[in-house]
A and B are shown apart, each in its own frame.
Chain A
Amino acid sequence: MESGDKPLTGAGLSLARGNEGSLVIHIAGNWERGQVLPNPEETLQAIESASPRALGFDASGLAGWDSNLLTFLIKIKEWCTTKNVECVDTDLPDGVRRLLALASAVPERKGARRESRRESFFVTVGGKAQQFVVSAGEVFDFLGEAFVSIIRFLGGRASFRRVDLLLFLQETGAQALPIVSLISMLVGLILAFVGAIQLKTFGAQIYVADLVGIAMVRVMGAIMTGIIVAGRTGAAYAAQLGTMQVNEEIDALKTLGVSPMEFLVLPRMVALALMMPLLCVYADVMGILGGLIVGVVMLDLNPVVYLNETKAALSLTNVWIGLFHSAVFGVIVALSGCLRGIQCGRSASAVGYATTSAVVTSIVSIIVATALITILCNVLGI
C-alpha cells in the first residue's frame, strides 16, 4: 500500500491462447497506484480481435494490487457480459474475487442512472418561462404570507421570540452606526465638493448648504443607508435563513407547527422597518456634517451661518419624504433577504447564490422604488 517506496516495476499483462478457443489473460507484477498500468481500452481491443469463446485468467505472477486492478477487471467483465463471452475468474486471487462480488452485491437501482440530455432551444426557453411564472408565484405567496403575519403582529397574535427581535434591532441598528457614519459623511463631503466648484463661479458658496441639506435629507441619506443595509443585513438574513434551510431547521419549525414566516421573517422585517428610518435620520445628520466640513474648511463659511442656511432650506416635507423612502427600503431589504433565504436550495453554493441574489434584488428594488417615489412626488407636487 505504501506507494512511492516500491520500485516502479510496472504491471504486466499478456494474452495467450488457451484450449478450445479460449483466451488466458496473464496478470503479473505490481498493479498499484503510481505504477505504469495497461490501458484497458487497448487491452479490450486486443481481446476483441482474438474473438475468444471464453476468457480465463492467470494471476500467478501477481505481486501486488489495489483498486486499480479491480477497475481493470470490471471493464473486462463488463465487456464479457455485453459480448456474451464466458468469463472464468476462478484463478484470480480470492481477495480480488470477493471484492468484485461485493461491488456487484447491490445491483444498480433501476432508473437511478441519469443521462445528461441536450435540450433543444425551445425546450430551454419554455422551461425558463415556466420557471419564471413559478418563481413569480412564489414571490407573491411570500408577500401575501408576510402581509398576513404583519396583520397578526399588529393584532399582537404573532408567535416569535421577543429576544430575537431585540437582538435584530441591535444588529441592524446600533451595530450599523460606524459604517453609516463613514459612508454618509463622505457622501455629504462629495456632494459639497461637487456643488462648491460650480457655485463658487457665481459667488454663491452659501448655497452649498441648501444643496447638501436637501439632497441628503430628501433622498441620498435614505438611499445610502438602504444600500449599506442591503449589503450588511439583507445578505446576513439570506445566509442565516439559507443555512437553516440546508440544515432542515425550517422543516423542523414547520413540523413543530411554528410558522417560519412569523418566527423567522417577521422579527427581521419589523427590526429593519423600525431601524431604517432611525439610521436614515442619523445618516442625514452625518451628511450635513460632511457638507459643513467642506463649507468651513474650503469655502471659509461660518459654521453658524452654514447651519442656519441649512435650516432655512429644509422643510418638514423633505424630512417626511426621506423617512418614507427609508421605511420602504427597510421593508424591501428585509423581504428580499428573507425571500431569497427561504427559497434557498440545499447546498453550500445555494446559500452563496441566495446571498448574492438577496443583495442584487434589494439594490435593484431600492433604485426602482426611489424612481417611483420621485415620480409620484413630482405628480403630486411635493
Chain B
Amino acid sequence: MSEGEPQIVVKGLDMGYGSFILMRDLNFTVNRGDIFIIMGGSGCGKSTLMKILIGLKKPLRGQVFYGDVSFWEADPDEQERIMRRFGVLYQSGALFSSLTLAENVALPLEQYTDMSKSQIRSMVSLKLALVGLAGFEEFYPSEISGGMQKRAGLARAMALDPDILFFDEPSAGLDPVSARLLDDLILELRASLGTTFVVVTHELASIFAIGNNSVYLDVDSRTMTASGDPKKLLAESSDPKVRNFLTRGGENAHGQAQVKPS
C-alpha cells in the first residue's frame, strides 16, 4: 500500500443511540498516512464516531470501508482481522487497574506476538520511554497522575506498531511541553512508520501542528459542516461556526475579521 491511498472511507453514516440521532449523513475519507482530526463541540458525538470507526458500536445507517471491505457487513473473522490493525487510546485511558504499566503495555504483545520475555521487556521500555514514562514500569495506574495515565494509554495503544492509531483527546490533561512532545511523536511515527492517525482533539495548537485532514461535526445541524486540511479551513472556510471553533471564538469576541489570513 502506498501513501495517500484511501484507508478509511465513511459513506452516508448516521449515528446515534436508539432513536436518538446524533449525526446524519457523514461522508469523508481518511487516506493512508493522514493525521485526521475529528473536531466539534463537547457532546457532539466525536467519541461516538470513533467507537463506530473502531468497530465497537454499530452505526444506525451507512458504511465504513477499510480498503475494499465494508466493516459492518463483513463476517466476524474479517472484522477481527481489521480490528487487529488498530491501536486505540480511550478518552478515559482505560488502563487495566490491576496490572502495572509494564503489564498493561505487554498484554497485546503477549497476546499477538511470539516475542520472548526479554524482547517484550525492552519493547515495553521503549514504548513507555517514547511517551515520557521511562522508569514507571512497575507502577499501578492508580499510583500515577491523570496525564500519566493518558500517556500510559498511548503506550499501550502503540504497543504493536499498529497501522492505524485512534486517539481520543490524547493531550487532554497534559502540560504544554508534554503535549508538544506528543505532537512530535505523532508526526515522527507517521513519517517513519507510515502510521495513519485519527485524533479527536480540541487543542487548537495541536490541530494546526499535526492535522492534514479533518472533519467538523456541528451539533445544531447534526451533520458535518466542514472537512479538509484544518489550516486551509482556517484560511478559506466561510462557515462562521467552523471559523469560531478554529479561532477560539476570537472573531465573535472582537467583532469581525480579527484573524484574517493574508
A-side interface residues toward B, CB under 8 Å? 1-2, 33-34, 37, 40-41, 66-68, 70-71, 74-75, 93-96, 98-99, 102-109, 112-114, 116, 246, 345-350
Question: What chain A residues lie within 8 Å of B142 (beta carbons)?
Answer: 345-347
Please encode chain B, from 110 to 137, with 1 for each CB lying within 8 Å of some chain A CB and 0 for all others. 0001010011001101110110111111
Whether A108 touches B135, Cβ cut-off 8 Å, given contacts A1-B193, A70-B126, is: yes
Question: What chain A residues lie within 8 Å of B118 (beta carbons)?
Answer: 41
Cross-chain contact B98 with A348 (CB below 8 angstroms) = yes
Instruction: State A125–B191 Cα separation when bound (angstroms).
Output: 55
17 sampled A-B residue pairs with Cβ under 8 A: A67-B161, A68-B123, A71-B125, A71-B126, A95-B193, A98-B191, A102-B185, A103-B130, A105-B181, A106-B132, A109-B134, A109-B135, A116-B138, A345-B142, A346-B97, A347-B140, A347-B142
Question: What chain A residues lie within 8 Å of B178 (beta carbons)?
Answer: 106
Cross-chain contact B122 with A74 (CB below 8 angstroms) = yes
Cross-chain contact B126 with A33 (CB below 8 angstroms) = no
Cross-chain contact B193 with A66 (CB below 8 angstroms) = yes
Cross-chain contact A71 with B122 (CB below 8 angstroms) = yes
B141 at the interface (CB under 8 A from A): yes
B56 at the interface (CB under 8 A from A): no
Cross-chain contact B139 with A114 (CB below 8 angstroms) = yes
Cross-chain contact B97 with A347 (CB below 8 angstroms) = yes
Please encode chain B, from 178 to 212, with 1 for each CB lying within 8 Å of some chain A CB and 0 for all others. 10010011001101111100000000000000000
Instruction: State A75–B118 Cα separation when bound (angstroms).
Output: 11
Question: What chain B residues lie within 8 Å of A346 (beta carbons)?
Answer: 97, 142
Whether A95 touches B188, Cβ cut-off 8 Å, given contacts A1-B163, A102-B181, A103-B130, is: yes
A-B contact count (CB 8 A): 97
Instruction: State A103–B181 Cα separation when bound (angstroms).
Output: 10
B1 at the interface (CB under 8 A from A): yes
Of A2, A33, A106, A116, the most chain B CB neighbours within 10 A belong to A106
From A34, A103, A113, contact of B129 by CB (8 A): A103
Instruction: State A103–B178 Cα separation when bound (angstroms).
Output: 13
From A33, A108, A109, A347, contact of B161 by CB (8 A): A33
For the complex formed, measure the closest distance between the CB of A356 and the CB atoms of chain B, giving whole angstroms.
14
For the complex formed, measure the closest distance between the CB of B18 and the CB atoms of chain A, giving whole angstroms.
25
Question: What chain A residues lie within 8 Å of B191 (beta carbons)?
Answer: 95, 98
Residue of A nearest to B114 (CB): A34
Instruction: State A74–B119 Cα separation when bound (angstroms).
Output: 12
Cross-chain contact A67 with B98 (CB below 8 angstroms) = no
From B97, B98, B136, contact of A112 by CB (8 A): B136
Question: What chain B residues lie within 8 Å of A102 (beta carbons)?
Answer: 130, 181, 184-185, 188
Cross-chain contact B132 with A105 (CB below 8 angstroms) = yes
Known: A71-B122, A347-B97. 4 other contacts (CB 8 A): A71-B119, A98-B192, A347-B141, A348-B98
Cross-chain contact A75 with B192 (CB below 8 angstroms) = no
Cross-chain contact B188 with A107 (CB below 8 angstroms) = no
Cross-chain contact B135 with A2 (CB below 8 angstroms) = no
Whether A347 touches B98, Cβ cut-off 8 Å, given contacts A67-B127, A102-B130, A103-B130, is: yes
Residue of B nearest to A73 (CB): B126
For the complex formed, measure the closest distance between the CB of A43 and the CB atoms of chain B, giving whole angstroms.
13
Cross-chain contact B188 with A98 (CB below 8 angstroms) = yes
Whether A96 touches B192, Cβ cut-off 8 Å, given contacts A2-B1, A71-B126, is: yes
Cross-chain contact A106 with B181 (CB below 8 angstroms) = yes
Question: What chain B residues lie within 8 Å of A96 (beta carbons)?
Answer: 192
Cross-chain contact B134 with A106 (CB below 8 angstroms) = yes
